[in-house]
């Protein structure tokens, strides 16, 4: 079982009346809410937290890409990943990931990921999300009617750029490059493992299964809502006669560890309510650019609503409807399974169920969310590392994780230049 | 009023619906934002004295997924030209609304012989920083009807699933219409049509809904200044962006008078 520590890097000082006074946390969030000098501290705290997670034994640290977003301060996760590559030694660096269609030319992604793979000595996990409507179509102005076609083509170009030995011409529908020849090349051969975060679209299940990529469901709505999506992926794997190797799947889950359930409830309520209340306050007008959702997925969504299928709580709902119906009070946040809380034993027990029921070998854990302080983040992270991880490590032991980075041998790797020897998160 | 005839033509391999009704000189009509999922009263009005021909635009209702193979502006221009030729509209008068009006003007600029006179209702294609159009693709669903029509009920009735229609495919077709418009006009609605307006030598009637909440009315003057041929601006009182839906009789009369 792989336990991965994920940071969204939320702006932690959105005002208390944010929901009432602002239309959206995303796309048109007002610039006056952003204080760069406070963000200086946030970024450094967040990077300390990621480094601390590596230090206490998480298998990977994860970053992701968002634009014009008050809960995701990483328009370029590659910048953070490259810094983390220097300050960590053996932990996998998971960039989850680069929205391929946004890069012009997409070989930029091949280059930057190859750089991170070289700097880190082959520790990169290359995430390829399509990207949310807010990030791609609105903040970046990408045409929703072409987004997926551009994504697929960019994927082909990046993989070819990583693997082809000679300079080649790429004659794509949207990208034409006469001379593709990236320097540097990735350490991992043939290339870093490719993981694909999906939102429950039928086509993505099929594509990941066919391409032998890891399918990840990065939902903020927890394991109860995530079940249907992961079941859909495994059903597609079954249909194609592929093995149910749990390491071909990843799942995101919010966590709060304390001494007891009540203790955890009290400790994490503020941060969770900040996240689900302020950070997920997204104007639904940003959620449904026409063409973003494939017609196959629209069809599946409408059919599931028609049938009142058990999964219609999440699937078949537009992003906007999901945002509108989200629970925002701690009681409901916990009841709905958005955040798993409890003592270390209770959290481990619940996560074991999640990992088994969803058949997931990679759990991406959010142990910092909302305005959670550095101290509390560190407490949550340490308790999880010391008391939860050991109880989960044996899970899925019979399976081979073919999608994990294959770094250079430790003895082959560069000595990391000395930096402040004090614990990173202190 | 008799029923329109429904014909099918092939555009880039996609089966495309063409409605035809009436007699007399031909008049083409290209739908506005959202397309024409069903026959609307303005079409009856136009067919009273003309052979009205209504070809579906690629990706719009009746146009299948024709938009999905159109990647560039030139692709769109060639598809619309082929559509007009196969619908037997070459050289005929042409009316269009909103996105369809923009395409009609483009065809007139690039292939002057293909169009006689043009009636353009609040065309897309321009973007003025000081007076930007409303973003039709970033709206809450309940806001759209009131942005498209002065009377939102007209839009709602046009878009609601008819008795007996496929309740799954119908809504997908409506989303597809908005996507097809996005495919050519995303994100600003700006196709830089102003560079080509001077090539239009045909006479152009510019119709604008008095209460257009999508395209600022000032754009009528920009079009009129740019167009190479004679232009007339006419405001339709009480109408919204899709003026032909709000005020079918008034809009049809203006078009018929202009192209008589």
Residues A55-78: pLDDT tens digits?
A: 999 999 999 999 999 999 999 999
Q: Does A402 touch chain B (CB under 8 A)?
A: no
Contact between A146 and B71 using a beta-carbon 8 Å cutoff: yes
In this prediction, residue A310 has a pLDDT band, given cuts at 50, 70 and 90, of: very low
In this prediction, residue A419 has a pLDDT band, given cuts at 50, 70 and 90, of: low
Q: A–B: how many Cβ contacts below 8 A?
A: 65
Query: Can you tell me the distance from the alpha carbon of A321 to that of A102, in angstroms, rounded to the nearest whole number?
Result: 25
| Highest-pLDDT range among A218-222, A417-421, B234-238 | B234-238
Residue A2: C-alpha distances to residues A8, A174, A250, A339, A403 (Å): 19, 37, 9, 19, 11
Query: How many Cα atoms are found within 13 Å in the side-chain-facing hemisphere of A266?
Result: 5
Q: Does A140 touch chain B (CB under 8 A)?
A: no
Contact between B67 and A285 using a beta-carbon 8 Å cutoff: no
Q: Identify the pLDDT of residue B9.
A: 98
Query: How many Cα atoms are found within 13 Å in the side-chain-facing hemisphere of A291?
Result: 28
Q: Identify the pLDDT of residue A291.
A: 96
Please name the residue of chain A whose CA is at the shortest distance from the CA of residue B144.
A285
Q: Please report where in the chains the tokens 């170009």 appear, as a residue.
A: A157
Distance (Å) from the C-alpha of residue B172 to the closest C-alpha of chain A?
7
Please name the residue of chain A whose CA is at the shortest distance from the CA of residue B72.
A174
Tell me A17's DSSP state: T
Helix (H, G, I), strand (E, B) or coil at B236: strand
Distance (Å) from the C-alpha of residue B81 to the closest C-alpha of chain A?
22
pLDDT of A421 above 70: no
Residue by residue, DSSP assigns A99-111 as: -GGGSSSTHHHHH
pLDDT of A426 above 80: no
Paired tokens of A362 = 């990679």
Residues A70-107: pLDDT tens digits?
A: 999 999 999 999 999 999 999 999 999 999 999 999 99
In a mutational test of the B interface, the residue from A291, A302, A309 whose CB has the highest number of chain B CBs within 10 Å is: A291
Residues contacting residue A51 through CB under 8 Å, at least 6 positions apart: A61, A84, A87, A88, A424, A425
Instruction: Determine the structural domain holding residue B53 and report its residue range.
Output: 5-259
Q: Identify the pLDDT of residue A304.
A: 73
Residues A239-288: pLDDT tens digits?
A: 999 999 999 999 999 999 999 999 999 999 999 999 999 999 999 999 89
Residue B174: C-alpha distances to residues A298, B160, B205, B243 (Å): 12, 10, 29, 19
pLDDT of A123 above 70: yes
Q: Tell me what percent of chain B is helix, strand and coil, each rounded to the nearest 5.
A: 40, 20, 40
Q: What is the ipTM of this complex?
A: 0.95
CB A215 within 8 A of CB A236: no
CATH code for residues A2-412:
3.20.20.30
Long-range contacts of the stretch A322-329 (C-beta < 8 A, 24+): A322/A221, A323/A280, A323/A281, A323/A282, A323/A284, A323/A287, A324/A284, A326/A220, A326/A221, A326/A276, A326/A280, A327/A276, A328/A273, A328/A276, A328/A277, A328/A280, A329/A273
Least confident window among A298-307, B187-196, B236-245: A298-307
Average pLDDT over residues A122-151: 97
Please name the residue of chain B whose CA is at the shortest distance from the CA of residue A286.
B138
pLDDT of B8 above 70: yes
Q: Identify the pLDDT of residue A425.
A: 56
Strands A362-366, B5-11: pairing is: unpaired
Q: Does A307 touch chain B (CB under 8 A)?
A: no
Q: Please report where in the chains the tokens 């309510």 appear, as a residue.
A: A273
Nearest to B168 among A283, A290, A303 (CB): A303
pLDDT of A312 above 50: no
Mean pLDDT of chain B: 97
What would you measure as the largest C-alpha separation in chain A, in angstroms?
62
Mean pLDDT of chain A: 94
Nearest to A285 among B68, B138, B187 (CB): B138
Contact between B182 and A290 using a beta-carbon 8 Å cutoff: yes
Residues A363-413: pLDDT tens digits?
A: 999 999 999 999 999 999 999 999 999 999 999 999 999 999 999 999 999
Q: Residue count of chain A, please give it.
A: 426
Report the CATH number that the domain containing residue B9 is assigned in CATH. 3.40.50.1820
Q: Does A143 touch chain B (CB under 8 A)?
A: yes
Tell me A78's DSSP state: H
Residue A239: C-alpha distances to residues A209, A235, A244, A423, B86 (Å): 10, 6, 11, 49, 44
In a mutational test of the B interface, the residue from A24, A26, A145, A282 whose CB has the highest number of chain B CBs within 10 Å is: A145
Please name the residue of chain B whose CA is at the shortest distance from the CA of residue A290.
B179
Residues of A in contact with B168 (CB under 8 A): 299, 302-303, 306
Residues B158-203: pLDDT tens digits?
A: 999 999 999 999 999 999 999 999 999 999 999 999 999 999 999 9
Nearest to B179 among A286, A290, A320 (CB): A290
Closest to B182 in 3D by CA, of B80, B82, B57, B83? B57
> Would you list the domain boundaries of chain A?
2-412
Q: Identify the pLDDT of residue A418.
A: 67
In a mutational test of the A interface, the residue from B187, B190, B191 whose CB has the highest number of chain A CBs within 10 Å is: B187
Nearest to B172 among A174, A283, A298 (CB): A298
Nearest to B71 among A173, A290, A299 (CB): A173
Question: What is the tally of structural domains in chain B?
Answer: 1
């Amino acid at each position: 079982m792989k336990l991965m520590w994920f940071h969204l890097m939320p702006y932690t000082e959105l005002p208390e009346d944010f929901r009432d006074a602002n239309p959206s946390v995303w796309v048109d969030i007002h610039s006056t809410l952003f204080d760069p000098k406070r963000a200086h501290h946030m970024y450094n705290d967040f990077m300390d937290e990621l480094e601390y997670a590596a230090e206490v034994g998480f298998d990977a640290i994860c970053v992701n890409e968002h634009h014009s977003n008050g809960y995701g301060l990483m328009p370029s996760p590659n910048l953070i990943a490259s810094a983390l590559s220097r300050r960590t030694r053996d932990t996998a660096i998971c960039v989850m990931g680069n929205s391929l269609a946004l890069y012009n030319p997409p070989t930029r992604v091949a280059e930057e990921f190859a750089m991170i793979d070289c700097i880190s000595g082959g520790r990169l996990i290359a995430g390829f999300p399509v990207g949310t409507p807010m990030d791609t179509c609105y903040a970046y102005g990408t045409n929703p009617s072409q987004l997926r076609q551009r994504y697929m083509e960019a994927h082909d170009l990046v993989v070819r750029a990583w693997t082809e030995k000679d300079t080649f011409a790429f004659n794509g529908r949207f990208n034409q490059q006469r001379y593709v020849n990236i320097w540097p090349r990735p350490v991992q051969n043939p290339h870093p493992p490719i993981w694909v975060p999906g939102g429950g679209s039928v086509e993505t299940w099929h594509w990941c299964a066919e391409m032998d990529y890891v399918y990840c469901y990065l939902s903020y709505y927890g394991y109860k809502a995530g079940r249907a999506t992961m079941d859909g992926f495994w059903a597609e794997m079954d249909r194609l006669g592929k093995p149910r190797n749990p390491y071909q799947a990843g799942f995101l889950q919010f966590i709060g560890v304390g001494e007891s359930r009540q203790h955890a409830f009290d400790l994490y309520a503020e941060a969770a309510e900040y996240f689900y209340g302020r950070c997920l306050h997204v104007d639904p007008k940003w959620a449904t650019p026409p063409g973003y959702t494939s017609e196959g997925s629209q069809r599946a969504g409408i059919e599931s609503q028609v049938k009142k299928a058990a999964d219609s709580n999440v699937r078949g709902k537009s992003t906007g409807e999901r945002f509108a119906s989200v629970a925002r009070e701690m009681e409901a946040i916990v009841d709905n399974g958005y955040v798993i809380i409890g003592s270390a034993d209770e959290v481990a027990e619940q996560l074991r169920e999640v990992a088994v029921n969803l058949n997931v070998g990679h759990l991406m854990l959010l142990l910092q969310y909302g305005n959670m302080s550095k101290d509390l983040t560190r407490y949550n992270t340490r308790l999880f590392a010391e008391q939860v991880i050991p109880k989960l490590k044996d899970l899925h032991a019979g399976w081979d994780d073919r999608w994990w980075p294959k770094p250079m041998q430790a003895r082959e790797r560069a000595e990391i230049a000395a930096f402040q020897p004090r614990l990173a998160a202190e | 009023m008799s029923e329109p005839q429904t014909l099918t033509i092939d555009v880039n391999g996609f089966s495309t619906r063409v409605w035809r009704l009436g007699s007399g000189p031909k008049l083409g009509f290209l739908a506005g934002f959202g397309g024409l999922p069903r026959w609307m009263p303005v079409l009856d009005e136009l067919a009273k004295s003309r052979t009205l021909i209504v070809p579906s635009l690629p990706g719009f209702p009746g146009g299948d997924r024709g938009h999905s193979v159109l990647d560039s502006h030139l692709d769109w221009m060639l598809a619309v030209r082929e559509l007009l030729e196969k619908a037997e509209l070459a050289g005929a008068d042409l009316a269009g609304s909103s996105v369809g009006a923009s395409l009609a003007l483009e065809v007139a600029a690039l292939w002057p012989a293909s169009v006689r006179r043009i009636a353009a209702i609040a065309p897309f294609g321009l973007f003025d920083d000081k007076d930007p159009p409303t973003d039709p693709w970033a709206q809450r669903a309940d806001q759209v009807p009131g942005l498209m029509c002065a009377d939102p009920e007209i839009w709602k009735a046009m878009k609601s699933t008819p008795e007996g229609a496929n309740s799954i495919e119908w809504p997908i077709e409506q989303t597809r219409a908005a996507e097809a418009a996005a495919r050519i006009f995303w994100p600003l609605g700006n196709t830089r049509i102003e560079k080509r307006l001077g090539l239009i030598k045909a006479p152009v009637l510019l119709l604008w809904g008095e209460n257009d909440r999508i395209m600022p009315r000032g754009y009528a003057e920009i079009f009129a200044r740019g167009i190479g041929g004679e232009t007339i601006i006419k405001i339709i009182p009480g109408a919204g962006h899709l003026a032909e839906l709000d005020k079918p009789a008034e809009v049809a009369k203006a078009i018929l008078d202009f192209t008589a």
